[in-house]
Structure 1
Amino acid sequence: MSRSLRRGALAATAIVFSIAALSACGAGNDAQTLEVRPDNAAVTVDDVKIQNALVITQPEARVKGPAVVSATVFNNGNLPQVIESITLPGTAGTVKLAAAGGSGPITVPALGSVVIGGEGNASAVIENGLAEARTGGAQKVVFKLSKTGDVALSAFVVPSAGYFKDFGPSIVPAPPGASPTASASASAEGEHGAGEGEHGTEPSGEATTAGH
Structure 2
Amino acid sequence: MSRSLRRGALAATAVVFSIASLAACGAGNDAQTLQVKPDNAAVTKGEIAVQNALVITQGEKGKKGPAAVSATVFNSGAKAQTLDGITLTGGKAKVVLKPAEGTGKITVPAGGSVVLGGTGNASASIENGHEAVKDGDVQNIVFQLSSTGDVELDAFVVPATGMYAGYGPSGAPAAGPAPSGSPAGSPSGSPSGAAAGTPSGAPSGSASGSPSGSASHAAGH
- Shorter-chain TM-score range: 0.5 to 0.7
Q: Which runs of 5+ in 2 are unaligned?
A: 1-27, 181-221
Q: TM-score, normalised by structure 2?
A: 0.63
Q: Secondary structure at the match of 1:107?
A: strand
Moved over 4 A (4+): 32-35
More moved, 98-107 vs 145-154:
98-107
Which amino acid in the other structure matches residue 185 of structure 1? P
Q: Is the 8 A contact 2:52 2:72 kept in 1?
A: yes
Which amino acid in the other structure matches residue 131 of structure 1? E
- Cα deviation for residue 34 of structure 1 reads 10
Q: Deviations over 1:45-86 (max 9, x none)?
A: 000000000000011221110110000000001100000000
* Structure 2 partner of 1:79: 79
* Structure 1 partner of 2:155: 155
* Structure 2 partner of 1:111: 111
Q: Which runs of 5+ in 1 are unaligned?
A: 1-24, 26-31, 174-179, 190-212
Query: When you count helix as a share of all residues, which structure comes out higher?
Result: 2
* Structure 2 partner of 1:135: 135
Counterparts of 1:123 and 1:62 in 2: how far apart (Å)?
23
* Structure 2 partner of 1:146: 146
Number of residue pairs aligned between Structure 1 and Structure 2 = 150
Q: Is the 8 A contact 1:93 1:130 kept in 2?
A: no
CA RMSD of aligned residues (A): 2.2
Q: Percentage identity across aligned positions?
A: 56
- Cα deviation for residue 89 of structure 1 reads 1.0
| 1:185 maps to 2:177 | yes
Q: Is the 8 A contact 2:79 2:110 kept in 1?
A: yes
Counterparts of 1:71 and 1:95 in 2: how far apart (Å)?
14
Q: Is the 8 A contact 1:91 1:130 kept in 2?
A: no
Q: Is the 8 A contact 2:63 2:130 kept in 1?
A: no
- Cα deviation for residue 186 of structure 1 reads 3.9
Q: TM-score, normalised by structure 1?
A: 0.65
Q: Secondary structure at the match of 2:97?
A: strand
Which amino acid in the other structure matches residue 116 of structure 2? I
Q: Is the 8 A contact 2:95 2:124 kept in 1?
A: yes
* Structure 2 partner of 1:63: 63
Q: Is the 8 A contact 1:55 1:70 kept in 2?
A: yes
Q: Secondary structure at the match of 2:134?
A: coil
Q: Which has the larger radius of gyration?
A: 2
Q: Is the 8 A contact 1:49 1:74 kept in 2?
A: yes
| 1:101 maps to 2:106 | no
Cα gap change, 1:185 to 1:33, in 2 (>3 Å): farther
